[in-house]
Chains A and B, each alone.
Chain A
Amino acid sequence: MTARTTVDELGERALAGDRGALARLLTLIDDDAPGARAAAARIAGHAGRAWVVGVTGVPGSGKSTLVDALLGAWLAEGHTVAVVAIDPSSPVSGGAVLGDRIRMGANAADERVFIRSFSARGELGGLSRAARAAVDCFDACGFDRIVVETVGTGQSETAIVSLADTRVVVCPPGLGDEVQAIKAGTLEIADVLAVSKGDLPLAAQTARELRDMLLLKPRAAGEWRPQAIVVCALDGSGLDDLRTAMTAHRDAVGVGRRSNVGPGTSVARAMPPPSDNDGWRDRIAALVARDALCTTLGIAARGGGPGSAEVAMTVDRRHLNFNGVCHGGAIFALADSAFGLAANSHGPVASGIDAHITFQTAVAAGDTLVARAIEVQRSRRIGVYRIDVVRADIGGEMPVSSFTGTVYIRD
């Protein structure tokens, strides 16, 4: 029996309702085992009926609690629900701790629920290739609601734009800088904004601010107008309003349109559709190999996606300034490298025309720095990127620097 036969067999058993077979198949797809991609493509042919809801939000935003509440409501209505939960992978080891499903306690035990956790495996933009395939598989196997839960860093999640039918962004209440950044980024992709922890006094105000920002965006006639809803998981208030808004969006744009970002089906967006799933990988690898400064400074690519990139550098003697700490120019170079890779990941040559950096923390020899670039906005000629540089510590990541850059795109 060849590997291909085994994979096909799993696919057939999955379509027939064998949960274990489906789980095994998802692993083979995740590992890109021989025959897996073909099997996934065949199964995708049966997909198209499910309502795919993307839920994203920064850690601590209350996203998982909200997903749990949605699960409860859908189960009560008799739906079958699959949850694809994606967590970022460690830039150092490639491993991951997948901790989303534990928040769905009682609902996770329901027979009509299937929860599957994925590591982003280095891809930024919030989704992994395997997770996309998982959505199709669940759809094909008869789950009529699929939640894709990702960690949003506050900037646009380009991949989830194309994958989900309805995108919910969970925003914690607050007025701090991170929340402002979240607001700026989420407005690009959210169909519905859920302001969580509705019991807190700031929640109503945050929702008001978001609505004000939404009003500033010009929209075409008939175009979906995103809504901001305050939700409280503790007592369930706002959940019905949230579901009403989500349903209204679904009814307006339909389901099953994944990967079809065409005119008339969604909000016209300034970003081009994501390039072919793996083209970015080769492009980024090739660019880094050609970059003399990256080689000189020891900057290595760690991952990325269409419009995003992640690089890392371990600070040593040659990066130090006259005070014995890391030279700001070295940090700039690291951030700028991520910037350049992200901007050039789509293919057309993009040149930096403006860049700003702030430094928050001193960095010493021996520290490992990671820079992550996200595409904030991109039109035919201009792209705006935001790069965060962090220091990878044992207990977590410490913010080191923020960088924004603009590129001019040549044909």
Chain B
Amino acid sequence: MNDTAAPAFRPRVLVTKIGLDGHDRGSRIVAAACRDAGMEVIYTPPWQSIPAVVKLALEEDVDVIGISSLATDHLVVPKLMAALGDAGLGDVRVVVGGIVPENEERALVASGVRAVFHPGSTLDEITTRIRDYAGETRRARTGGEGAR
């Protein structure tokens, strides 16, 4: 509430699931943890289409997209990365959390995913890194300004 100091940086994070899986215990806990860490979280139910996610990311000017994938949803993440690029949202950092076999993790990173969180990652670790990535996004967009 201090108007003269640098503006507060509240990361805007989208937590969502694309693909077909419906298990959302993990994504709900991560969304709650991000809120408790002071972030603004847009939380969606599962089964979001890629165009819907891209539109949301654009309108809400999100800094980080967190995809929860407990089954095979991560297999369509490369399509999401391509769609984000086409929409001019290539700077938005995307992370994937859940169950990702090693051989498929490499493909995700190659498509531009910033990080993959495996089971056993603590909430503290996840929220700290999401905050860092949000800072990266802001700096990439404003060429160094706007992120404190």
Instruction: Kindly state the separation between the CA atoms of A94 and B3 in the bound complex, as whole angstroms.
Output: 16
Docked complex Cα distance between A92 and B38 (Å):
9
Instruction: Say whether A1 faces chain B, with CB atoms less than 8 Å apart.
Output: yes
Check A99–B51 contact: CB distance below 8 A. Answer: no
Bound-state Cα–Cα, A208 to B140, Å: 57
User: Which residues of the partner chain A approach B88 to less than 8 Å between Cβ atoms?
Assistant: 20
State which residues 9-25 of A face B: CB under 8 Å: 19-20, 23-24
Is A98's CB under 8 angstroms from B40's CB? Answer: yes
Name the interface residues of B87-118: CB closer than 8 Å to any CB of A: 87-89
Is residue B72 within 8 Å, beta carbon to beta carbon, of the partner chain? no
Q: Is A114 an interface residue (CB 8 A)?
A: yes
Interface residue ranges of B2-41 to A (CB < 8 Å) = 3, 7-10, 12, 31-32, 34-41
Asked whether any CB of chain A lies closer than 8 Å to the CB of B45, the reply is yes
* B residues in contact with A99, CB < 8 Å: 42-43
Q: Which of B7, B35, B38 is close to A32, meaning CB atoms less than 8 Å apart?
A: B7
Q: How far is the CB of B133 from chain A (nearest CB, A)?
A: 16
Minimum CB–CB distance for B68 against chain A, Å: 15
| CA of A101 to CA of B62, assembled, Å | 14
Instruction: Digitize A79-123: 1 where CB-to-B-CB distance is under 8 Å, 0 elsewhere.
Output: 000000000001011111111011000001100001111010110
Of the candidates B7, B31, B55, B87, which one forms a contact with A108 in the assembled complex, judged by CB atoms under 8 Å apart?
A: B55
| A contact residues around B145 at 8 Å (CB) | 3, 6
Q: Which of A23, A90, A92, A93 contacts B59 (CB 8 A)?
A: A23
Tell whether, in the assembled complex, residue B146 and residue A95 are in contact, meaning their CB atoms are under 8 Å apart. Answer: no
* Chain A interface extent, by class: 35 or more
**Complex Cα spacing A117 to B14, Å:** 11
**Alpha-carbon gap, A26 to B58, bound state (A):** 12
- Residue B142 is within 8 A (CB to CB) of chain A in the complex: yes
Tell me if A1 and B61 are in contact (CB < 8 A). no
Q: Is B120 an interface residue (CB 8 A)?
A: no
Chain B residue at smallest Cβ distance from A18: B88
A90 to B59, CA, bound (A): 23
Give Cα A121–Cα B12 distance, bound, in whole angstroms: 13
**A97 near B41: Cβ-Cβ < 8 Å:** yes
A251 interface hit (Cβ, 8 Å): no
Contact A95 B58 (CB under 8 A): no
Q: Which residues of B contact A1 (CB under 8 A)?
A: 143
The residue that A33 contacts in the complex, of B40, B43, B146, with Cβ under 8 A, is B146
Q: Number of B residues contacting the other chain (C-beta, 8 Å)?
A: 38
Chain B residue nearest to A25 (CB atoms) is: B61
A3-B138 Cα distance, complex, nearest whole Å: 13
A285 at interface by CB-CB < 8 Å: yes
B52 to chain A, nearest CB (A): 5
Q: How far does the alpha carbon of A121 sit from the alpha carbon of B38 in the complex, in Å? A: 10
With both chains docked as a complex, state the minimum distance between the C-beta of A19 and any C-beta of chain B, in angstroms: 6
Q: Identify which of B7, B38, B56 contacts A94 (C-beta below 8 A).
A: B38
Question: Any chain B CB within 8 A of the CB of A281?
Answer: yes
| B45 and chain A: residue at smallest CB distance | A102
| Inter-subunit contact A97/B32 (CB<8 Å) | yes
Q: Kindly state the separation between the CA atoms of A100 and B58 in the bound complex, as whole angstroms.
A: 17
Contact call A27/B12, Cβ cutoff below 8 A? yes
Q: Does A278 touch B at the CB level, under 8 Å?
A: yes
Interface positions of A from 242 to 283, Cβ below 8 Å from B: 278, 281
* CB neighbours of B143 from chain A (8 A): 1
Q: Give the residue of A20, A93, A94 whose beta carbon is less than 8 angstroms from that of B58.
A: A20
Q: How far is the CA of A86 from the CA of B115 in the complex (A)?
A: 30
CB distance from A48 to the nearest CB of B (A): 23
The contact string, 1 if C-beta is below 8 Å from chain B, for chain A 312-335, is 000000000000000000000000
A108 to B10, Cβ gap below 8 A? no
1/0 contact string of A147-160 vs chain B (CB within 8 Å): 00000000000000
Cβ–Cβ contact A95 & B40, under 8 A:
yes
The interface residues of chain B lying within 8 Å CB-to-CB of A92 are 36
Whole-angstrom distance between the Cβ of A399 and the nearest chain B Cβ: 21
The CA-CA distance from A93 to B40 in the complex, in Å, is: 10
A109 touches B60 (CB 8 A): no
* Complex contact A119–B58 (CB within 8 A): no
A285 x B1 contact (CB < 8 A): yes
A301 to chain B, nearest CB (A): 9
A354 within 8 A of B: no
Return chain B residues, CB-CB under 8 Å to A97.
Answer: 31-32, 35, 41-43
- CB neighbours of B36 from chain A (8 A): 90, 92-93, 95
Assuming A32-B8, A97-B31, A115-B60, what are 18 further A-B pairs, CB within 8 angstroms?
A: A6-B142, A19-B58, A20-B88, A23-B59, A24-B61, A27-B61, A31-B9, A31-B10, A94-B10, A97-B42, A98-B41, A99-B42, A99-B43, A108-B55, A116-B60, A117-B60, A278-B3, A281-B1
4 A-B pairs closest in CB distance: A95-B35, A23-B61, A31-B7, A95-B38
List 10 interface pairs A-B (beta carbons < 8 Å), by A numbering.
A1-B143, A20-B88, A31-B146, A33-B7, A95-B34, A95-B36, A95-B37, A96-B40, A101-B42, A285-B1
